[in-house]
Amino acid sequence: MSERTSTESRIIDVPWDDARAASLRDELDADLGARYDGFHGDEPEERAVARSRALAMHPDEIVATLIAVDAAGTPTGHVILRRLGVEWEIKRLVVTAAARGQGIARRLMTEAIDRAREDGADRVILQTGIPQPESVALYESMGFTRIPVYEPYIETMPRSVCFAYRF
Show the domains of the chain with their CATH numbers. Answer: 3-121 (3.40.630.30)
| pLDDT tens-digit map of 63-89 | 999 999 999 999 999 999 999 989 999
* Helices and strands counted in the chain (H then E): 4, 8
DSSP state of 102: S
Residue 42, pLDDT score: 66
Please enumerate in sequence order all residues whose Cβ is within 8 A of that of 79, keeping only pairs 6 or more positions apart, or say none. Answer: 66, 90, 91, 92, 93, 94, 105, 108, 109, 111, 112
Q: Is 54 exposed, middle or buried (0-12, 13-18, 19+ CB in 10 A)?
A: middle
Q: How many CA atoms lie within 13 A of 69 on its CB side?
A: 14
Residue 5, pLDDT score: 46
Helical segments of 64-132, H only: 104-118
Residue 32, pLDDT score: 84
Instruction: Walk along the chain (167 residues) and give the pLDDT tens digit of each residue.
Output: 455 544 568 999 999 999 999 999 999 988 888 877 665 556 677 777 787 788 788 889 999 999 999 999 999 999 999 999 899 999 999 999 999 999 999 999 999 999 999 999 999 999 999 889 999 999 999 999 999 999 999 988 888 999 999 99
H or E segment to which residue 92 belongs: strand 87-95
Please enumerate in sequence order all residues whose Cβ is within 8 A of that of 26, keeping only pairs 6 or more positions apart, or say none. Answer: none
Residue 3, pLDDT score: 52
Please enumerate in sequence order all residues whose Cβ is within 8 A of that of 15, keeping only pairs 6 or more positions apart, or say none. Answer: 1, 21, 65
Tell me the CA end-to-end span of the chain in Å, nearest whole number: 25
Give the separation between CA 101 and CA 70, rounded to whole angstroms: 14
Phi, psi of 127 (to 5 degrees): -125, 135
Nearest partner of 78 among 90, 69, 66, judged by Cα? 66
